[in-house]
């Protein structure tokens, strides 16, 4: 995989959630762009997921400064896994 930006450019980039509030508790690391949960995801608290074993959510992340501005769309799939112990 090749990167389209140099290390100097990557050091200038800033990532932010554009979709506010996020449909589930999410955080984007401002410098790396890593998307992660920032709390417990309760599907019953998310209208699109209520009563479903699988649902899909969308959100956008912006990349700045203006010279490198982009909107990155993300699709998050929430799947409920039930583990039974005998």
Evaluate whether residue 46 is within a structural domain.
Answer: no
Q: What is the pLDDT of residues 29-40, one digit of tens each?
A: 999 888 888 888
Give me Rg for the CA atoms of the chain: 16
> Does the N-terminal peptide bond of residue 65 adopt cis geometry, omega within 30 degrees of 0?
yes
Evaluate whether residue 20 is within a structural domain.
Answer: yes
Q: What is the CATH number of the domain that holds 3?
A: 2.60.40
Evaluate whether residue 27 is within a structural domain.
Answer: yes
Which pLDDT score, from 0 to 100, does residue 27 have? 87
The count of structural domains within the chain is: 1
**pLDDT digit of tens for each residue in the chain (86 aa)?**
457 778 888 889 999 998 877 778 888 999 988 888 888 877 788 888 888 888 888 889 999 999 999 999 988 888 877 777 76
Q: Which domain holds residue 16?
A: 1-40+54-86
Evaluate whether residue 47 is within a structural domain.
Answer: no
Evaluate whether residue 60 is within a structural domain.
Answer: yes
Full-model pTM: 0.73
d(CA 53, CA 58): 17
Evaluate whether residue 45 is within a structural domain.
Answer: no
């Amino acid at each position: 995989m090749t990167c389209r930006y140099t290390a100097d450019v990557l050091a200038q980039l800033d990532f932010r959630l554009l979709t506010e509030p996020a449909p589930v508790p999410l955080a984007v690391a401002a410098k790396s762009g890593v998307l992660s949960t920032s709390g417990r995801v309760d599907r019953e608290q998310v209208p699109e997921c209520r009563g479903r074993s699988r649902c899909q959510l969308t959100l956008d992340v912006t990349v700045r400064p203006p010279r490198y501005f982009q909107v990155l769309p993300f699709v998050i799939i929430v799947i409920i896994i039930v583990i039974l112990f005998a």
